[in-house]
Amino acid sequence: MTQAARNDFQSIYGKVQNTFVIPHPYPFDIDKVDFNKRSHKKAVTISRLDPLKQISHAVDIFSLVVKKVPDATLDIYGHGSEEENLRKQIKKLGLENNVFLKGYTDDPLAIFSSAVMSVFTSAAEGFGLTLVESICNGCPAFAFDIKYGPPEIITEGQTGDLLPRYDKEGFAKKVIEYLRDTTLQQSMSENCYNDAQRFSNEKFLEKWFKMTETIFTN
């Protein structure tokens, strides 16, 4: 699903012919939301709450963010084994008015459409479909630079930002700068909508057609 995964595959098995990169598509119509209807200090995370997703890092990051942007909020959607630990962490850091565990959602598109950014602190991914969902809903994604997904989904500085893995202070600094600049927020949101075509069903089918055509004509 990513070029980086393909490169790693070929580093192990050699340059095998007929390998193709086909990312997940975004299978829904793009429903563009008026930027002024977004909450300009709200970030969101949609994820399983398990150790691999490192949601505790997002909470730590926002403990730094709110020192500079006191009305910043982070809504966390999902369930998992880390839920109680996160609840205790939020309380320990005094973030009850800034970081909220929202539970499961069956409407991620509405969630991304309500915020000005999404936060992605996973340690590793096979792809990162929620990043695509975020960007296709005009919600720039901020993520650790990990394998696989974020470096190929996010256009750095345009549709979000990539931060060195585990650099929570650097991540917080970037979030603070972004939440203080509504002009930048609007520009990056527009960039996300413009970039959404990369993940369309048409592009997805085009890649599958090219793959099958190449295989059967070689």
Q: What angle do CA 93, 160, 200 make, to 5 degrees?
A: 125
Q: Tell me, yes or no, whether 130 lies in a domain.
A: yes
Report, as ranges of residue numbers, the positions in the chain whose pLDDT lies below 50: none
Q: Examine residue 175 and state whether it is found in any structural domain, yes or no.
A: yes
b/e map 124-139, b = 16+ CB within 10 Å:
ebebbbbbbbbbbbbb
Q: What gap in Å lies between CA 101 and CA 96, rounded to an integer?
A: 10
3-class secondary structure, 81: coil
Residue 56: give the domain boundaries: 42-196
What single-letter amino acid sits at 27? P
Three-class HEC string of 97-127: CCEEEEECCCCHHHHHHHEEEEEECCCCCCC
Q: What is the DSSP pairing of strand 73-77 with strand 115-120?
A: unpaired
Inter-residue contact 46 to 122 (CB < 8 Å): no
Domain membership flag for residue 168? yes
Residue 67 lies in a domain: yes
**pLDDT tens-place string over residues 105-127:** 999 999 999 999 999 999 999 99
Which residues, other chains included, contact 175 with Cβ-Cβ below 8 Å and sequence gap of 6+?
A: 43, 61, 62, 65, 72, 117, 119, 142
Q: What is the pLDDT of residue 16?
A: 77
Confidence (pLDDT) at 18: 79
Number of domains in the chain: 1
The pTM of the full predicted model, rounded to 2 decimals, is 0.91
Q: Cα–Cα distance between 125 and 24 in angstroms, integer? A: 13
CATH code at 114?
3.40.50.2000
Specify the pLDDT at position 213.
86
Reply yes or no: is the peptide bond before residue 148 cis, omega within 30 of 0.
yes
The verdict on residue 5 lying in a domain is: no
Instruction: Look at residue 14 in the predicted model and tell me its pLDDT.
Output: 86
Q: Residue 97: inside a domain, yes or no?
A: yes
The answer to whether position 75 is within a domain reads yes
